[in-house]
Homo-oligomer: A and B are copies of this chain.
Amino acid sequence: MSNAPRYASRIARMKASEIRELLKLIDRPEVISFAGGIPDPELFPAEAAREAYAAALRDPAVALQYGVSEGHAALRAWIAAEMRRDGVPAGPDNILITAGSQQGLDFLGKALLSPGDTVLCEYPTYLGALQAFSAYEPRYDQLRPGGNRTPASYIGRAAKAGGAVKALYLVPDFANPTGLTLGAGERADVLRLAEELGALVIEDAAYRALRFSGVASPSLQALDVAAAGDLERSRVVYLGTFSKTVAPGMRVGWVCAPAALIAKLTLLNQASALHVSSINQIAMLKLVERGYEARIADARTHYRRKREALLDALERYGRGLAWTIPEGGLFSWLTLPEGVDAAKLLERALSEVRVAFVPGAAFHPDGSGTNTLRLSYSLPTTERIEEGVWRLSRLL
């Protein structure tokens, strides 16, 4: 009837990246998937995009031609203004347009990391960041914002056995995979640690615009600029994207950083894909100029409703489990009873109750977190969310 068992038997021997690829394929209608982590296509602005592309093509000599590697000037200016609204005094020279924030991670890895250098990140953390960095062969060490009582000097010494700590990577708002948001004390702690280690902070803000409850915290970059007095002296690099707010298929994101670093990353972009698609940059500008706020408001309402469905269902059926309560974004993080292996649970969930999720070990550089898993509520309907949690509870 379905090939879920065949998939499931492969899961046990698969690497994290392979699990991710596999789970993308599980879009058969009988499976309720909490695995994806991709935006709900119901939110995609199809009609507005048709208009935006048609408008871009009214100047084909620009939209279809090569462009400069730093990105389309008017889009950089628009993003700089958006960054200023979020507390970062950026100008266009502080913005590089990238093919999603993922490409920014790759360029930062290439610019910063040599084999053996240390990257500090939370355990668990975003898998794609580990993939991007790992091409440059760093080692990873655990960052515990606020909960880290290890002195910086100790972390620094431990790192130097390999290579210096070059970067602290984190998703401060509604993190992938945990859904958690750093508080003010934790943010201060991260910035202090980076200062003591002389390392950059890579702030992955992929979900930041999608807050649907609670009060926004200033971004790490805004806090650091306020302390340093100037974006040019900040040690925070901010990665933004339109993938979660407009459409990932257009592959448009950005890096906001001191101008000297932007110039360096621009050369890496030139040596890689030359530049982000001209027509996509122009169409994206037209899309965000007309109703970015309204689009984000829609997305917030949409995902808040789905989160409510998930949390309600977990309250109802989640005896013995612990989960995070996200104030935005697409994810909640589930902790199973001690000793329950989420990868094995996924095998059974797929074959017995047709539910998919991502086992938590995939997000841990050290393979720990075997009794955790990530639930994304972005794709299923609220009814399917409830049904999926109920099905899962029957297994546990």
A interface vs B, CB < 8 Å?
17, 21, 24, 38-39, 41, 44-46, 49-50, 53-54, 57, 60-68, 98-100, 102-103, 106, 110, 128, 131-132, 134-135, 243, 247-251, 267-268, 270-280
**CB pair B132 A65 closer than 8 Å:** no
Name, among A46, A102, A278, A279, the residue most crowded by chain B CB atoms within 10 Å (CB to CB): A279
Give the distance in Å from the alpha carbon of A106 to the alpha carbon of B269 in the complex.
10
Given contacts A44-B60, A99-B273, 16 further A-B contacts (CB under 8 A): A44-B61, A44-B64, A46-B57, A49-B64, A53-B54, A54-B54, A62-B249, A64-B249, A65-B248, A66-B248, A99-B274, A99-B277, A103-B272, A131-B271, A251-B278, A280-B280
A228 to chain B, nearest CB (A): 30
The residue of chain B having its C-beta at the shortest distance from the C-beta of A56 within the complex is B53
Given A249-B277, A267-B17, decide whether A41 and B54 contact each other with a Cβ distance below 8 A: no
The residue that A134 contacts in the complex, of B50, B61, B128, B271, with Cβ under 8 A, is B271
Query: Chain A's interface: helix, strand, loop or mixed, by majority?
Result: helix
Give the distance in Å from the alpha carbon of A21 to the alpha carbon of B24 in the complex.
40
**CB pair B54 A50 closer than 8 Å:** yes
Given A50-B54, A249-B277, A273-B106, decide whether A38 and B65 contact each other with a Cβ distance below 8 A: yes
Given the complex, which residues of B lie within 8 Å of A278, measured CB to CB?
A: 248-251
Given the complex, which residues of B lie within 8 Å of A106, measured CB to CB?
A: 271-273
The residue of chain B having its C-beta at the shortest distance from the C-beta of A274 within the complex is B102
**CB pair B248 A276 closer than 8 Å:** no
Give the distance in Å from the alpha carbon of A45 to the alpha carbon of B277 in the complex.
16
Given the complex, which residues of B lie within 8 Å of A248, measured CB to CB?
A: 64-66, 278
**CB pair A249 B53 closer than 8 Å:** no
The residue of chain B having its C-beta at the shortest distance from the C-beta of A99 within the complex is B273
**CB pair A50 B46 closer than 8 Å:** no
Give the distance in Å from the alpha carbon of A98 to the alpha carbon of B273 in the complex.
8
The residue of chain B having its C-beta at the shortest distance from the C-beta of A18 within the complex is B267
Given the complex, which residues of B lie within 8 Å of A44, measured CB to CB?
A: 60-61, 64-65
The residue of chain B having its C-beta at the shortest distance from the C-beta of A107 within the complex is B272
**CB pair B64 A271 closer than 8 Å:** no
Given the complex, which residues of B lie within 8 Å of A67, measured CB to CB?
A: 249
**CB pair A271 B60 closer than 8 Å:** no
The residue of chain B having its C-beta at the shortest distance from the C-beta of A49 within the complex is B57
**CB pair A272 B53 closer than 8 Å:** no
